[in-house]
Each structure stands twice: as C-alpha cells, then as structure tokens.
Amino acid sequence: MRFVPFVMILACLVGGIATPAGAITHGSLDRADHPEVGALVGDKPEHDGTWTYCTGTLISPTVFLTAAHCRREGKETVRVSFASHYRPGSAVFTGRFVADPRYRAKDHLHDMAVVVFDAPVPGITPARLPSLGLLDRLEADGTLRTTRFTPVGYGSLAPVKGEGGWRYTYTDMRNQTSISFKDLDDEWLQLSPNRAKGEGGTCFGDSGGPNFLGGPDSDLLVATTISGVDDGCKSTNFDYRLDTAPVREFLGRFVTLP
C-alpha cells in the first residue's frame, strides 16, 4: 500500500488531520532535470499496476535520503530506481533501509531514513545539503518569503474527487513543480501552492522526496516531503527541514555535511 494510516501532525498549527504525502500535482515531467531523485520500487505491482511508492534523493554516491514512514513492515532492504519513468526491467539498486531511531509516527518528528548501498550509484551527481540554520538565516534577512521551491517526486497526479471519494492516478514517472513559502518553525518548512502563479504541490507517493531551494535547476535540498493537510493535495505541504541540528546528527552518521 502507498498510504499509511492518517496521522495528527502539528495539531497546534494545522488544527486538523494530515496525511502522508504522495505525488506532484499541477506540475510537469522532470525528465533529466533531477537525475539524483529516485523512487522506492515495490517487489510487486500495486493494484493499479504501478510499482513506485515513495520518493527520495541521492545525497552521496552510496546514500539515498527518504522518509522513515516509507518503511514496509518486515523489509530491511529496499529497491531504488533513478529512471525518470520506471518500467519493469529498469535499473534498480538495492540497499539497506535505516530509519532515524528517534522517529515518532504520531507526529512525524525525525521522519527520516536513508538507504545505504554497498557500492556507489554510477553516473549521478548527488544533491547538496544545506548548512546549519540556512532557512533561519534566509527568514531573518527577509528573502525566504519570496523564495521559490521545487518539489520533485513520483506520486499521484491531480487527484479527482468522485462519488466514492478521491481518485489518485499514478504513472511511475518523475515530476516537478514550483511552490511558495508559507511558514517556518523549528522542525517544519510549510509550503503552499499559489494557483495564480500556476504552482502545484505534493501528494501521495512523493513522501521522502526533495524540496529544492530555488528553481528547477537547483540541486540544494533543504527539506523532504512528509505530509499535507488535505486529501486532495491542494493545500499546505509540511516538509521536514534538513538544516537543523537534530537532522544533522542523524545524517552525519552517513554523509559529510557542509
């Protein structure tokens, strides 16, 4: 299953139910813009015949960053594909799934995991990680409010609500969109799409995927997609900051940090 149970997240800020995030909405095909972004691939297809169920980013030649809630019960290893359109037979890399031991499903704090490969992934340049407190500095000098962010992922496209509820369409393809800043706190970067500017957001299947600081050419990964506040994936996205000390404590076990 792509979906995990509904969770309460940041109730004091959101005041409602949030759902683990899935796919890029109102975006476009990523093609070769972000080859460092890959998908977790199931051992068997989902009920709709597609295979990918979470997203992540290569942050060193042997380390792939995703979300802890993407763990599948009983699975210590996972398969990752960097194909812009995954099809059976596409190259996959198998690695060990290591979640942050501090992860708490009830509020998604420390919702991080890495996939550690035995050998370097060839031909792909890893994304860059932020320095400590980068987003705080951008907020303090006033530039964060007008900063553009680029989410990338393999999730559901443009959910449609019918009589039976929401319908989610998956394509096993990597997509990207643009999204605007909304708010920042100690753990979370909140992003919200400005429809007037043609922006989109994330949805089911994009969990663990990157939010790059800047436009589509950026490779500076500042937050990972975790959750949203509506089943239609049209409102605020909650993304886990990667520039904080607790995050760096975990990631520093696996990669060299700036």
Question: How far is 151 from 114, CA to CA, in rounded Å?
Answer: 19
- Encode pLDDT of 19-63 as tens digits: 444 456 667 899 899 999 999 999 999 999 999 999 999 999 999
- Topology adopted by domain 7-251: Thrombin, subunit H (2.40.10)
Please choose, from the candidates 100, 126, 101, the residue with its C-alpha nearest in 3D space to the C-alpha of residue 113. 100
- Encode pLDDT of 56-94 as tens digits: 999 999 999 999 999 998 889 999 999 999 999 999 999
Gyration radius (Cα) of the chain, Å: 16
Please choose, from the candidates 169, 61, 174, the residue with its C-alpha nearest in 3D space to the C-alpha of residue 114. 61
What's the per-residue H, E or C state across 58-78? EEECCEEEECHHHCCCCCCEE
Chain centroid, CA 233 distance in Å = 14
Residue 143's contacts (CB-CB under 8 Å, 6 or more residues apart) are none
- Encode pLDDT of 226-245 as tens digits: 987 666 677 788 999 999 99
- Report the predicted TM-score, pTM, of the whole model to 2 decimal places: 0.90
Dihedral angle over CA of 120, 172, 54, 51, nearest 10: -90
